[in-house]
Amino acid sequence: MAINDPADKEALLENDRKYVWHHMTPHNDNPMIVASGDGSWVTDVDGNRYLDGMSGLWCVNVGHGRKEIAEAAAQQMMTLAYATMVQAHIPSIELAAKLNAWLEGEYRIFFSNSGSDANEVAFKIARQYFHQKGKPAKHKFISRHRAYHGNSMGALGATGQAQRKLKYEPLGVGFSHVAPPYCYRCPFGQTKDNCSLQCAEAIEQAIAWEGPDSVAGVILEPVITGGGMLVPHEGYLPAVARICEKYDVLLIVDEVICGFGRSGRKFGHHNYGVKPDIVTMAKGLTSAYSPLSATAVSAELYEVFKSGGDTSHFRHVNTFGGNPVSCAVALANLRVLEDEGLIARSAVIGEAFAARLARLREHPNVGDMRIFGSAMGIELVEDRDTKEPAKPERVAAIVAACKSKGLLIGKNGDTVPGFANILTLSPPLSSTDDDVDFIVK
């Protein structure tokens, strides 16, 4: 089909309406049909170009149209398209070693397909770990309201966004939630200047109230991204890490979005100097060129599985996890990130947003602007004094106006449950100066 052929577009749309069930949108949608991508830009079937300001779903970190990644995939498909992870294969071994270097620690890597899978694996490993340590009652997880950790029953149980969970409950059991580190609307009534990290204390309190003997882990993103770009006080993550250590609770860091350079460092937690017990990752691992996720488990935890005898192995398998083609794609993707200095570039993009969009902070409908690496959230309000969240029509109008000018942005957050009043931007880390100019304008 030729691009710009409206007749074909109508046929496509008809079949789309008839056969395709879209993710997360109402059924009467008239979707943009994306036909191709190059760098930070995508082109629809009408030939309209858009700057992909959200890197798809926060995932195309190296940008679109990377021939070197396509070639790595083709080469691997022709060499070995599939082997199980019960066996071993070369791309998974190379990738696990590479991830250890990126993580700056000693981790065993368990491969799966998606971010949700990676978190499910983390929960199961945490529970089995405590079983094998003779503490089987330690099975609960503490998470935060506003967090998103995936769509499956356990990962959605860990998620702290009520509207996503309604109609599917009961979900995986054993998850409880505390208030997030949301400095603009501090749930504890504090300000940045008088912050005593009560949001971290809330985690300690939850562990105490649940009973430390029953809590296996705390799961968190370094910065809550999809829940509205909630950048915590710099002392928050180190405080949570100390609390976890004090109560023999595992620190599980979800790097599905924050990882692979988005934060301006290799992983989001590197900005806070903590050493997680488990790190989960997906999206930027392959820049979404192929599905792959990973759960990195500290060598210390792994040892408990390895040394426990014949029945102590982890009884979990998935058919596609660690697929050789996806691993080869991930290796090629990490090479691009390294060779082109895209992690440092991510920080530069965020600094450009901070400097060049600074005057937005004075706008009567901008309550707050939050930047972490190259990801940004702009919290819209009706009134800066009352902080009343901007009405959905106003937010939708801005997203539509950006699209009409050729910029795709997101809206996230859950300030009032189910009500997204935070504009989000998370462009490819390969975005050029011209791309950044375009976004700023």
The residue ranges that bind ligand PLP (CB under 6 A) are: 57, 114-116, 119, 148-151, 221, 225-226, 254, 256-257, 282
Closest alpha carbon to 254 in 242, 233, 235, 240: 240
Please identify, using beta-carbon distances, which residue of 89 and 144 lies nearer to ligand PLP: 144
Angle CA 409–410–411, to nearest 5: 135
Structure tokens at 175: 């998850």
As a whole number of angstroms, the distance between CA 309 and CA 216 comes to 22
SS3 50: strand
Helix and strand numbers, DSSP H then E, in the chain:
14, 15
Closest approach of ligand PLP to the CB of residue 180, in Å: 13
| Torsion sign over Cα 251, 256, 261, 264 | negative
Please identify, using beta-carbon distances, which residue of 99 and 256 lies nearer to ligand PLP: 256
Closest approach of ligand PLP to the CB of residue 380, in Å: 21
Please identify, using beta-carbon distances, which residue of 267 and 438 lies nearer to ligand PLP: 267
Closest approach of ligand PLP to the CB of residue 113, in Å: 8
Closest approach of ligand PLP to the CB of residue 412, in Å: 10
- The DSSP secondary-structure symbol of 232 reads P
**Pairing state between β 250-254 and 34-38:** unpaired
As a whole number of angstroms, the distance between CA 356 and CA 281 comes to 31
Closest approach of ligand PLP to the CB of residue 10, in Å: 31
H/E run at residue 330:
helix 324-339
CA dihedral 148, 163, 201, 256 (to 10 degrees): 0
Please identify, using beta-carbon distances, which residue of 195 and 318 lies nearer to ligand PLP: 318
Please identify, using beta-carbon distances, which residue of 322 and 436 lies nearer to ligand PLP: 322
Please identify, using beta-carbon distances, which residue of 151 and 176 lies nearer to ligand PLP: 151
Residue nearest to ligand PLP (CB): 115
Closest approach of ligand PLP to the CB of residue 162, in Å: 17
As a whole number of angstroms, the distance between CA 107 and CA 248 comes to 19
